[in-house]
Chains A and B, each alone.
Chain A
Amino acid sequence: MPMTDVTIAGGGIVGLSLAMALRRGAGLSVQVIDPLPAGKDIGRASAVAAGAQRMLAELGVWDAIAPAAQPVSRMVVTDSRLSDPVRQAFITFDGAIAPDEPFAYIIENAVVTNALRDAAHAAGVVSAATAVKGFATRGAGVDLTLADGSRQRTALLVAADGARSALRSYAGIPWSGHDYDQSGIVATVAHERPHDGCAVQHFLPPGPFARLPLTGNRSSIVWTERRADAEALLALDADDVVDELERRFGLDLGRLTLETELRAFPLGVGMARRFVGDRFALVGDAAHLVHPLAGLGLNLGLRDVAVLAEAIVDHARLGLPPGDATVLERYQRARRFDTLTLGIATDGLNRLFSNDRLPFRLARDLGLGIVDRMPGLKNFFIREAAGVVGAVPRLMRGEPL
């Protein structure tokens, strides 16, 4: 049976960018398997930090994305209650890590996915609209059984199939984490006045509410609510939904209209015990799930891709196959600590802020106030969030593999 070099389960942004990196970097044969290649992205947008933007440019898809990418010029964080008439900004980040390079863009997920899918198709990545139903390692490869009944063989299987990864459970890799009693509600809204590239994060008692600027007079919202309240909200009439939305969003940009329906998904935090198995690797949310409050989920996933692709390509140039244990150990060593730190940090922030008790409010306002008054520290946070510090993989420096 002919053997594909790398098979990726999951045709989202993470899976497709890995496919592109491996095609361009070492000309490997790559297949992407996804039962629902389109349709998961409606209403969702992501912060694409500077490192991730450089990577998308290196993968040859940035030109197709750029017209729909909104640079973030400023980021404002408030700590408030719904009843507060004015929401005082406790911290403001001015967003440039270098002249003409904002620290992040906000982009609708569908724009990125479509650009990657077109580029992957043109680059010769094979795609199959089916699912992996089972797999077993045999000799120097992995035997795959697909939902359409066919059988295949691959040198490395990568799970990019999200936080509820089916492949992770087939591989028997345990997941440590917990669900928050919170749901994330996403939607795209239009408003009357321009946002000037300002992203706003209101830390409201039920959880953070984020306004992420999109191109035009539009914003993407990530609205955290207690799970029961979220269900009630989704059941409301459209007019009532907009009323509730305006109470949280504020009216500083004028009246709001919904461009997409509200969609809710359960929030949690978690991390796989191992990121690799025998000729098997987890990337993106399949390996780690962070709270969306920091907007870092996608950037973490792309960093996984950059590190794994670099390890695979470097080893391919030594004649070592993609599933070689040294490739996977290098990937796991580079990614696990990084991910754990960020997971704990966002979990802590969420617990600290999703709370209305006075001591918590004082502690966080004091903390944010201090950070706001120390330009060096703030710059550190911006560069850290942008993913351009530390041992940066080549793709995230904008260099070829």
Chain B
Amino acid sequence: MIAPRDEAPKDAAAQAGQTVDPAEVARFDKLADSWWDPNGPMRPLHQINPLRLAYIRDAVAAHFGRSIRAPKPLSGLALLDIGAGGGLLAEPLARLGADVTGLEPAAGMAAAARRHAEESGLSIDYRTETIEAVAARGERFDVVTAMEVVEHVADVAVFVKAACAVAGQDGIVILSTLNRTLRSFALAIVGAEYLLRWLPRGTHDWEKFVTPDELTEAVAAAGFTVNDRKGVVYNPLSASWRLSGDLGVNYMLTATR
């Protein structure tokens, strides 16, 4: 049986106030080389990317009063992408004009991301340090994104607190993750990892998934207010992703002070 969350044992890293999980880092390091292959193991991430980018762009543009029709709607905004991976999100956001910093704890992955950005002619500051280290230094960003990261961290509350802390007074925080429901177990683990082989097995640990209410609570505890929550659903007929009111599997949320 699955233990209730508050009884789940916390590992050493979480006890030391660090939310990066070393086992997760090792797992992602192995994926570095194939991250940018649209038909490789990260294919679903490539496919969902336009929808996520549109959500982030629209939320940020609305918050800072920018026009999404402008050639570089995010120009001049300092953006921190936590869990940047190979840079699938960081590169497009840099093209939209943001000054992007990417945190990627897996060193092999960060190196691959740096190489790719250079090839693409983009200037992105990839760092292997933790969000807690950034927060402790008092650095501030206009936009903080953490897409599909919350379900990989050792302690959600500590992580969300640090993410909100680095968003300045007028900052905006955007998170996406997987809900802990029977449906997400069926779709994300059994479906995506085992049946469809969309993702490498072991990519996700269902017990670490976070419900929207748990995440909203963690955001509130960090002094932020959630303004928007949207589900992300897959339509197998059109092979496309869209936004929905159904938060049952994958969802995104936006928070400001």
Per the bound structure, the CA–CA distance linking A139 and B121 in Å amounts to: 11
**A318–B46 contact, CB under 8 A?**
no
Task: Report whether B119 and A319 are in contact in the complex, using a CB–CB cutoff of 8 Å.
Answer: no
Task: List the B residue with the shortest CB-CB distance to A320.
Answer: B92
Complex: A50 Cα to B28 Cα, angstroms: 52
Q: Using A318-B96, A319-B94 as known contacts, say yes or no to A140 and B120 having CB atoms under 8 A apart.
A: yes
**Interface magnitude class on chain A:** 10 to 19
- Assuming the contacts A3-B121, A318-B92, A320-B49, asked whether A325 and B71 have C-beta atoms less than 8 A apart, the reply is no
0 or 1 for each of A300-336: is its CB under 8 Å from B? (1 = yes): 0000000000000011011111001110010001000
Chain A minimum-CB-distance residue to B96:
A319
Are B239's CB and A325's CB within 8 A?
no
| A333 and B54 alpha carbons, distance in the complex (Å) | 21
**CB interface residues, A 47-85, toward B, < 8 Å:** none
Chain B residues touching A, majority SS: helix
**Residue on A with the closest CB to B119?**
A139
Q: Mark B33-49, 1 if CB is under 8 A from A, else 0.
A: 00000110000001101
CB-CB contacts of B55-73 with A at 8 A, as 1s and 0s?
0010000000000110100
A324 / chain B contacts, CB cutoff of 8 Å: 38
Q: B95: which A residues are within 8 A, CB to CB? A: 319-321
Question: Nearest chain-A residue to B58 (Cβ)?
Answer: A318
Bound-state CA distance A27–B119 (Å) is: 22
Quick check: B53 and A319 within 8 Å, CB to CB?
yes
User: In the complex the two chains form, what is the Cα distance from A333 to B240 in whole Å?
Assistant: 11
Residues of B close to A3: CB separation below 8 A: 121
Determine the distance from Cα of A326 to Cα of B54 in the docked complex, in whole angstroms: 14
Residues of A within 8 A of B120 (CB): 139-140, 321
Interface residues of B in 115-134 (CB under 8 A from A): 116, 119-121
State A141–B119 Cα separation when bound (angstroms): 9
List residues of A (113-141) whose CB comes within 8 Å of B's CBs: 139-141
CB distance from A400 to the nearest CB of B (A): 10
B47:A326 contact, CB within 8 angstroms = yes
* Closest-CB distance, A141 to chain B (whole angstroms): 8
Interfacial chain B residues near A329, Cβ < 8 Å? 47
Bound CA–CA A317/B38 (angstroms): 20
Q: Is the CB of A319 within 8 A of B68?
A: no
| B75-117, CB < 8 A from A | 91-96, 116
Q: Could you tell me the distance in whole angstroms from the C-beta of A313 to the nearest C-beta in chain B?
A: 11
Q: Is the CB–CB distance between B54 and A318 below 8 Å? A: yes
Q: In this assembly, does B50 line the interface, its C-beta being within 8 Å of a C-beta of chain A?
A: yes
Interface residues of A in 312-368 (CB under 8 A from B): 314-315, 317-321, 324-326, 329, 333
Known: A27-B71, A317-B69, A319-B92. 20 other contacts (CB 8 A): A3-B121, A140-B120, A314-B50, A317-B57, A318-B54, A318-B57, A318-B96, A320-B49, A320-B50, A320-B53, A320-B95, A321-B95, A321-B120, A324-B38, A325-B38, A325-B39, A325-B46, A326-B47, A326-B49, A333-B239
Identify the 6 closest CB pairs spanning chains A and B, nearest first.
A319-B92, A325-B38, A319-B95, A318-B53, A319-B96, A139-B119
Q: List 18 A-B contacts (CB under 8 A).
A: A3-B121, A139-B116, A139-B119, A139-B120, A317-B68, A317-B69, A318-B54, A318-B57, A319-B92, A319-B94, A319-B95, A319-B96, A321-B95, A324-B38, A325-B46, A326-B38, A326-B46, A326-B47
